[in-house]
Structure 1
Amino acid sequence: MTATGRVRAEFDAAWNSFLRRRTAVFFTFFFPVILVLIFGALVQTQPTGGGLFAEPQTYYVPGYLATVVLFTPLSRVGSEIARHREGSRFEKLATTPLSRTEWLLAQTLVNVVIIGLAALLILALMVVVTGAEIPLTPGLLLLVPFVVLGVVVFCGLGTILGSVADSQDGVIAASNTIALPLLFLSETFVTPELLPEWFGPIVNLSPLTYFSRGVRALTYEGGWELYQAHMTVWFNLAVLAALAVVFFAAGAYAIPRTD
């Protein structure tokens, strides 16, 4: 069997495993939906009102997309690694031609499909429920590589967490500990003006920052003007691509050969 065939077979197995967990399927898509409904439709934004959610609805599209790009890979891949370790499945996989890189690639592709569907759902809800006006331009197609690369980054990080945590509970705890600060401190929901000046350089250390800046430049009407002077969409895409390579390689290396 070729490498492509091995990846495809592992992808099919991982995809079917996801579909069999109906609770996981439900909450994977329910979580971003309820987030949009609460903050987008109920709380709503207050343009020029000051404070949190003081920008137009479209400004927060990167934040809503970030919830699935960040949380889903961290928890799903990390938990999958932990389950494999607890069931001694990596010892069995070591006897097959499937390499660690191929295994992680298949898991990442499954997450790309899942999160891609969730992202489409979020965008549709933003337009229908909140009235967000996303500019329909050819550049909007760049959302695809941004989402894909973001998923790759956090699949790699989730793999590392799953490899060092001692249990599935440990993976979930570590994922939430990392994801919650990143979600609000990566220019997603909290604007840079609301953060202390000294915190600005720290924001640049978050991979999610480059995702949110790039997505905002594509989906927010003032996005190009907001970032074009010093952070173009291409720069953010390039940084995210470089981080995706680094995190994927680190994740593949971190996968245990034995349990």
Structure 2
Amino acid sequence: MTATGRVRAEFGAAWNSFLRRRTAVFFTFFFPIILVLIFGALVQTQPTGGGLFAEPQAYYVPGYLATVVLFTPLSRVGSEIARHREGSRFEKLATTPLSRTEWLFAQTLVNVVIIGLAALLILALMVVVTGAEIPLSADLLLLIPFVVLGVVVFCGLGAVLGSVADSQDGVIAASNTIALPLLFLSETFVTPELLPDWFGPIVNLSPLTYFSRGVRALTYESAGLSDSVVAVNLAIVAALAVAFFAAGAYAIPRTE
């Protein structure tokens, strides 16, 4: 069997495994929906009121997309590796031609499909429910590589967490500990002006920051769509995706 065939087979198995977990399917899509409904429709924004949620609705599109790009890969890939370790499945996989890189690539593809669907749902809700004004142009198609590469970044990080955590509970605790600060401190929901000056350089250490900046340049007119801004942030996210994927594939244990 070729590498493509092995990845396809693993993708099919992982996809069917996801669909069998109906609770996971439900909350994967319910979480971003409830987030948009609560903060976008109920709390709403106050463009002239100052403070948190003081910007127009479209400003927060990167934040809502980040919830699925960040949380879903971390928890799903990390938990999947933890389950494999607890069931000694990596010992069985070590006897097959499927490499660790191919296994992680297949898992990442599953997450790309899942999160891609969730991202489309979020964008539709933002426009229909909150009235966010997202500029429609050919440039908007660049959201696809941003989402795909963002998923790769956090699938790689999730693989690292799943490989070092001692249990599935440990993976969930670690992923939440990492994801929650990143979600709010990566130029997503909290504007840079609300943070102290000394915290600015720290924001640049978050991989999610470059995802947010690029997506905002595409979806928020007041951000000023600039080819250089989009290209630079997309290049950074791409480089991070390669680095994190390589780290995640290396961290996956051969045996347990």
State the identity as a percent.
93
Kindly indicate whether residue 251 of structure 2 is the aligned counterpart of residue 234 of structure 1: no
Deviation at 1:9, TM superposition (A): 0.1
Instruction: Spell out the pairing of 1:39-78 with structure 2 (5 A cutoff).
Output: 39-78=39-78
CA distance in 2, matches of 1:131, 1:187: 21
> 1:136-175: per-residue Cα shift (whole Å, max 9, x none)?
0110000000000000000000000000000000000000
**Residue aligned with 1:256, SS:** coil
CA distance in 2, matches of 1:105, 1:123: 26
**Residue aligned with 2:240, SS:** helix
Deviation at 1:68, TM superposition (A): 0.1
CA distance in 1, matches of 2:49, 2:29: 31
> 1:51-106: per-residue Cα shift (whole Å, max 9, x none)?
00000000000000000000000000000000000000000000000000000000
Instruction: Spell out the pairing of 1:72-221 with structure 2 (5 A cutoff).
Output: 72-221=72-221
Deviation at 1:115, TM superposition (A): 0.1
Match of residue 225 from structure 2: none
> 1:206-258: per-residue Cα shift (whole Å, max 9, x none)?
0000000000000001xxxxxxxxxx110000000000000000000000000
Deviation at 1:133, TM superposition (A): 0.8
CA RMSD of aligned residues (A): 0.2
Kindly indicate whether residue 6 of structure 2 is the aligned counterpart of residue 6 of structure 1: yes
**Residue aligned with 2:25, SS:** helix
Deviation at 1:48, TM superposition (A): 1.7
CA distance in 2, matches of 1:236, 1:175: 24
> 1:3-31: per-residue Cα shift (whole Å, max 9, x none)?
00000000000000000000000000000
**Residue aligned with 1:190, SS:** coil
**Residue aligned with 2:119, SS:** helix
In the TM superposition, structure 1's runs of 4+ consecutive aligned residues that sit over 4 Å from their partners are none
TM-score, structure 1 normalization:
0.96
> 1:105-152: per-residue Cα shift (whole Å, max 9, x none)?
000000000000000000000000000010001100000000000000
